[in-house]
Structure 1
Amino acid sequence: MKVLVTGGAGFIGSNIVDRLIELNHDVAVVDNLSTGRRENLNPGAEFYNVDIVNKEDLTRVFEAFKPEICIHHAAQIDVQRSIKEPDYDADVNIVGTINVLNACRLSGARKIIYASSAAVYGEPEYLPLDENHKVEPISYYGVSKHTPEHYIKIFSQLYGLRYTILRYSNVYGIRQDPMGEGGVIAIFLNKLVKGEVPTIFGDGEQTRDFIYVKDVVEANIAALTRGDGYILNISTNTCISINDLVKKMIEASGRELKPNYGPARKGDIIHSYMDNRRAAEVLGWEPRYGLVEGLRETYEYYSGR
């Protein structure tokens, strides 16, 4: 199968590319390397250094490669940057996705798999969050990840483009950038490897649903052939406080450190975890990695750099 992965040099995208190539798919990667890394690129994939905001260049790549399926992960993922630069956030996440959709249509792609986010839900009215929960984001990032879902549905109605929308909980694992906003686990583990003290924003009692990147990869692989027309939560259906998470990470590192605490950040939700039963039913998928196992693999990755 011919699969084009946008953001395929990034954290989640590169892990998906590796798995696709392992399964003998024909893969192309589109990435402008603004946050993706050349060292993440699988040599078995065709690479195009193209920004999804550049409509003409993007369309040329699609028309040259002619993917059957597009897995769309290129995005602006920094919540705080979305608040400071909402125009940039919208350009990448909304306009960029529209460009991807147009390129799919013009090149004859039959399906798009779109990486959405738990951020679309906003403050939970109940837990666990299921796909029927109201959508009321509290950050521009949440808005810019949700808006493309509407465009995708209408593209499907107008042009027959099939889709599966995957709303991720907090993804962590190998290749996540510890220097960016991408994930608390990557940032904390990187500090622990260096012997530095991590900082928890707020009182640390906020809870999150952390899912290992390899489980997210398998959800995308399942969506290649299943889940048409569905929005699906990709999550563990469990949660842990940041305080307890940091304790587990310190235990995994074998160090004796106490975290610092800083002020809570705007746009952060206090408690969140997502129901994943629909994904289990529709995709035949469920997470296989527990938090301890995932943390151990991730710590080994950062300590082995």
Structure 2
Amino acid sequence: MRILVTGGAGFIGSHIVDELIQFGHHVHILDNLTTGHRENLNSQAIFHYGDLLDHGLAEAFAASQPEVVIHHAAQIDIQTSLANPMLDAQINILGTIAVLEQCRMHGVRKIIYASSAAVYGTPQYLGLDEVHPIRPLSFYGISKQTPEQYIGTYAALYELDYTILRYANVYGIRQDPKGEGGVVSIFVDKLLEGKQPLIYGDGEQTRDFVYVKDIVRANIAALNNGSHGLYNISCNEQTSVNVLLREMCEISCTHFDPVYLPIRKGDIVHSRLDNQAALEGLGWSPLYSLRDGLRETLDYYRKQYQSKGTNESNGSKLI
């Protein structure tokens, strides 16, 4: 299958590309490397350097002639959306419209769109299902939900199939210590460097953490399932930030010693997404427990950190 992955050099997108390659698909990547990294690029995929809002997008579509587009290129930081809502809207809303226009012009069969739990806002009940009211607390939540409406309308007008995946808080290998759900990566950096982790609020706020490899499996399942569907992709479990950090400290044999700071604007207090629809519509359910996912993530970064220390002590530099 010919597949174009936007944001394919990023945290989640690069893992999806790797799995698609393993399944034998012909994969193209579009990324402007603003938050993506060249080292994440799979050598067996064809890379197109470009932006959603420049000529690079049209060139990538013309070269790849995709049957399916997996759309992960986005502005992903809530605080950035509050500081610069114009930028957030340009990338997430106008950028997705540009992708949809290319899908229309090139006869793409299906688009798989990465949305977010941020669209829901403050929960009226837990776990949140896909019919929960949409009342985002941040511009980021607005800019992730608005493209869902465009996708539905493009589908109705131009016979474009789609699957929309609303992610809970994703974590895992290759995640930068910023962006939506980046708390695990931030804690990893602090623990490995022997610094005190920062917690905004009292740490009793809860999130639904889902491992990146489970996110990948949901995207693979959506290639041929979930037609015209919208699904929460989550573990359907609440974990407080305090418990998360304690788990990570236990796994890494590190003392629990955070610094507590005032809660940030745009952050919700509690979140847990119901994932029953994904089980029924995609045949998907998470395989990784939080502890297993954290252990795999910490093991990976511990080895990276130790390797870096060895190279630096030898006078060499990691690139």
Please state which band the TM-score falls in when normalised by the shorter chain.
over 0.9
1:35 aligns to what? 35
Paired with 2:282 and 2:289, the residues of 1 have a C-alpha distance of 20
Match of 2:160 in 1: 161
Q: Distance in 1 between matches of 2:223 and 2:198?
A: 39
Amino acid paired to 2:220:
I
- 2:97 and 2:7 map into 1 onto residues whose CA distance is 15
For residues 122-161 of structure 1, the C-alpha deviation after alignment (integer angstroms, 9 at most, x for no partner) is 0000000000100010100000000000000000011111
Change (3 A) 1:220 1:139: same
Instruction: Determine the structure 1 residue equivalent to 2:47.
Output: 47
What's the counterpart of residue 201 of structure 2?
202
Please name the residue that 1:87 is paired with: 86
TM-score, normalised to structure 2's length?
0.94
Aligned partners of 2:256 and 2:121: how far apart in 1? 33
Contact 2:77 2:178 in 1 (8 A): no
1:8 aligns with 2:4: no
| One-letter amino acid of the counterpart of residue 253, structure 2 | G
Q: Which residue of 2 aligns with 1:68?
A: 67
Q: Determine the structure 2 residue equivalent to 1:143.
A: 142
The reply to whether residue 267 of structure 1 matches residue 254 of structure 2 is no
User: Does the CA contact (< 8 Å) of 1:120 and 1:145 recur in 2?
Assistant: yes
Measured in 1, the distance between the counterparts of 2:206 and 2:179 equals 21
Deviation for aligned residue 1:252:
1.1
Following superposition, the deviation at residue 240 of structure 1 comes to: 0.6
Q: How far apart are residue 182 of structure 1 and its match?
A: 5.1
1:131 aligns with 130
CA contact (8 A) 2:78 2:179 kept: no
CA distance, structure 1, for counterparts of residue 121 and residue 48 of structure 2: 35
Shift in Å at residue 57 of structure 1?
2.7
Give CA-to-partner distance per residue, 1:54-89, whole Å, 9 cap, x none: 1x3311210221000000000000000000000000
Amino acid corresponding to residue 152 of structure 1 in structure 2: I
- 2-side partners of 1:285 and 1:223: how far apart? 9
Q: Superposition pairs for residues 228-247 of structure 1, below 5 Å? A: 228-247=227-246
For residues 71 and 165 of structure 1, the distance between their equivalents in structure 2, rounded to whole angstroms, comes to 10
Number of residues paired by the alignment? 304
How well do the aligned residues superpose, as a CA RMSD in angstroms?
A: 0.9
CA pair 179-89 structure 1, distance change in 2 beyond 3 A: closer
Q: Is the 8 A contact 1:16 1:220 kept in 2?
A: yes
Aligned to 1:82, what secondary structure does the other structure show? helix
What is the CA–CA distance in structure 1 between the aligned matches of 2:124 and 2:256, rounded to whole Å?
Answer: 36
Distance 1:292 1:211 in 2: 11
Per-residue CA deviations over 1:187-229 (Å, capped at 9, x if unaligned) read 1011101111100000001000000000000000000000010
Structure 2 partner of 1:289: 288
**How much does 1:180 deviate?**
5.4
Q: Give aligned-pair identity as a percent.
A: 59
Q: Which amino acid aligns with 1:4?
A: L
Residue 314 of structure 2 is matched in structure 1 by: none
AA partner of residue 101 (structure 2): N
Q: What residue is the counterpart of 2:184 in the other structure?
A: 185
- Which amino acid is the alignment partner of residue 169 of structure 1? A
Answer yes or no: is the 8 Å Cα contact 1:78–1:141 preserved in 2: yes
Whole-Å separation in 2 of the counterparts to 1:204 and 1:124:
18
Q: Which residue of 1 aligns with 2:26?
A: 26
Q: Is the 8 A contact 1:68 1:109 kept in 2?
A: yes
Q: Is the 8 A contact 1:4 1:29 kept in 2?
A: yes
- Contact 1:63 1:106 survives alignment (8 Å): no
Check whether the contact 2:245–2:256 (CA below 8 A) recurs between aligned residues.
no
1:179 Cα deviation from its structure 2 partner: 5.3
- Distance in 2 separating the partners of 1:289 and 1:73: 22
In structure 1, how many angstroms separate the alpha carbons of the residues matched to 2:25 and 2:165?
21
- Structure 2: state its 5+ residue gaps: 305-319
Matched with 1:280 is 279
